[in-house]
């Protein structure tokens, strides 16, 4: 009596050919002839069709794993190539400094500087920046009677100064606590975006003296701020200059002509704030309690002189004095515009920027290895030179672009 394979389960089979054994008394396989002494029978077998299916599934799994590994490798390779392309483009888009867009916008409620004096102040700012820091600013534009789009919604008034809301641009806290955090996030995601500089005439009150992160010791008793320099946006105002001239007159540095106003706005305010926004230089404040034969000798950020015997340097643009900065302006106003500054207090930070600029030029010329080495040295000097933290963070990110992926955080 014969049986089909699919009708038999748990039946003894030949250990070599898996043929069904019809009689358990046999000593050899009637199908292949193998003696059971050499290959004993078995009852743990898999039907042939199921075995073929198992083998096919195994082959499919091996093909799947092989294809998956190939796909993963290809994806990794594509991502690596894409990442390097993006990084390369990012490095090539970088310039020594971003383009600068100057905007002027006055409101009718407060005194105004003439348009010609404002234009002259911008020319003075560009020249003074090169005088003090050694870097020319070539790429800039002027947009008169216009507001940058990021601040336009906030310049609707009221301007009477009574019961100002937290959204008023007349308050330092609005810029420092509300607007700048938002603009800074946008700036970090767009390394090559232009720097926008607003020149306006609204008052800017330092209403956050106790919890401000800014250096405010050099403000006068009026608590008025002339400008804020930030890498994402610069705002300056002529209000203090035009309405508080009596303070300057008492300090022996009166401003009487439009030329005086242009020089003060251009160098003492605009170029100073560009020093913050483009170079990450901090304010250096000198206490009026110590004798000052000139303006000051090089000082630390905390305000104490590094050495009482240091040579007096009277035209350090980022240095100022407590209580209004009148002494600083008095000395700066006597400096010859167009002549390099005699100040050496910022050499370490400026050398770091010079090395970074060299690095970018080397990269664009195709010398990537030398560019990265120069950039590494620039970062090291920036970290040691007291530059503001945003400079350090940005340059660390640029370092990643030389090596591969660098994710914005």
* pTM of this structure: 0.72
Render pLDDT for 285-309 as a digit per residue (tens, 0 to 9).
665 544 343 343 333 222 333 333 3
pLDDT exceeds cutoff 90 at 125: yes
pLDDT band at 126 (very low <50, low <70, confident <90, very high): very high
**CA end-to-end distance (rounded Å), the chain:** 79
Burial of 93 (0-12, 13-18, 19+ CB in 10 A): exposed
Say whether 269 sits in a helix, a strand or coil. Answer: helix
What pLDDT sits at residue 246? Answer: 63
What pLDDT sits at residue 169? Answer: 92
What pLDDT sits at residue 32? Answer: 85
Residue 314 tokens read as 């009277």
What pLDDT sits at residue 78? Answer: 52
- Of 56-70, 183-197, 261-275, 359-373, the one with minimum mean pLDDT is 56-70
What pLDDT sits at residue 81? Answer: 44
Render pLDDT for 88-119 as a digit per residue (tens, 0 to 9).
566 666 778 899 999 999 999 999 999 999 99
Report the mean per-residue pLDDT for the chain: 78
pLDDT exceeds cutoff 70 at 247: no
Render pLDDT for 355-391 as a digit per residue (tens, 0 to 9).
999 998 898 888 888 999 999 999 999 998 888 999 9
What pLDDT sits at residue 89? Answer: 64
What pLDDT sits at residue 135? Answer: 95
What pLDDT sits at residue 164? Answer: 76
Task: Using a pLDDT cut of 70, give the percent of the chain over it.
Answer: 72
pLDDT exceeds cutoff 60 at 184: yes
Whole-angstrom Cα distance, residue 103 to residue 141? 9
Residue 231 tokens read as 């890498």
Domain(s) of CATH 3.40.390: residues in the chain = 100-280+323-343
User: Helices 115-133 and 272-279 sit at what angle, rounded to 10 degrees?
Assistant: 60
Averaged pLDDT, 385-406: 81
Averaged pLDDT, 339-347: 88
Burial of 130 (0-12, 13-18, 19+ CB in 10 A): middle
Averaged pLDDT, 187-193: 83
Averaged pLDDT, 242-249: 68
Render pLDDT for 299-335 as a digit per residue (tens, 0 to 9).
322 233 333 334 445 678 988 776 566 777 878 888 8
Higher pLDDT, 264 or 189: 264
The CATH number of the domain covering residues in 100-280+323-343: 3.40.390
What pLDDT sits at residue 399? Answer: 87
Burial of 308 (0-12, 13-18, 19+ CB in 10 A): exposed
């Amino acid at each position: 009596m014969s049986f089909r394979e699919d009708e038999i389960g748990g039946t003894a089979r030949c250990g070599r050919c898996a043929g069904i054994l019809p009689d358990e008394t046999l000593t050899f396989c009637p199908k292949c002839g193998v003696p059971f002494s050499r290959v004993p029978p078995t009852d743990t077998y898999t039907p042939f069709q199921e075995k073929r299916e198992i083998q096919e599934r195994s082959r499919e799994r091996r093909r799947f794993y092989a294809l998956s590994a190939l796909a993963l490798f290809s994806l990794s390779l594509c991502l690596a190539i894409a990442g390097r392309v993006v990084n390369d483009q990012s490095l090539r888009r970088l310039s020594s400094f971003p383009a600068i867009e100057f905007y002027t916008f006055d409101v009718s409620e407060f005194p105004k500087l003439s348009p010609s004096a404002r234009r002259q102040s911008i020319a003075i700012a560009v020249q003074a920046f090169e005088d003090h820091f050694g870097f020319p600013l070539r790429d800039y534009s002027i947009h008169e009677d216009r507001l940058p789009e990021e601040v336009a919604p906030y310049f609707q008034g009221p301007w009477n100064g009574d019961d100002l809301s937290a959204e008023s641009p007349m308050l330092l806290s609005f810029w420092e606590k509300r607007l700048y955090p938002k603009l800074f996030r946008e700036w970090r995601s767009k390394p090559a975006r232009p720097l926008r500089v607003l020149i306006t005439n609204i008052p800017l009150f330092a209403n956050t003296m106790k919890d401000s992160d800014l250096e405010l010791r050099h403000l006068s008793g009026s608590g008025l701020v002339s400008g804020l320099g930030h890498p994402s946006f610069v705002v300056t105002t002529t209000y203090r200059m035009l309405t508080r001239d009596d303070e300057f007159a008492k300090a022996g540095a009166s401003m009487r002509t439009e030329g005086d106003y242009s020089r003060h706005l251009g160098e003492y305010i605009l170029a100073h704030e560009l020093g913050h926004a483009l170079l990450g230089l901090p304010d250096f404040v000198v206490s009026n309690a110590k004798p000052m034969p000139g303006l000051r000798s090089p000082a630390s950020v905390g305000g104490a002189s590094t050495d009482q015997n240091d040579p007096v340097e009277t035209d350090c643009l980022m240095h100022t004095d407590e209580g209004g900065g009148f002494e600083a302006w008095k000395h700066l106003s006597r400096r010859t515009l167009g002549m390099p500054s005699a100040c050496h207090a910022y050499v370490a930070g400026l050398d770091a920027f010079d090395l970074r600029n060299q690095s970018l030029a080397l990269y664009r010329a195709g010398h990537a290895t030398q560019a990265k080495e120069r950039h590494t040295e620039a970062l090291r000097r920036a970290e040691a030179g007291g530059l503001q933290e945003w400079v350090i963070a940005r340059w660390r990110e640029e370092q990643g672009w030389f090596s591969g992926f660098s994710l914005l955080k």
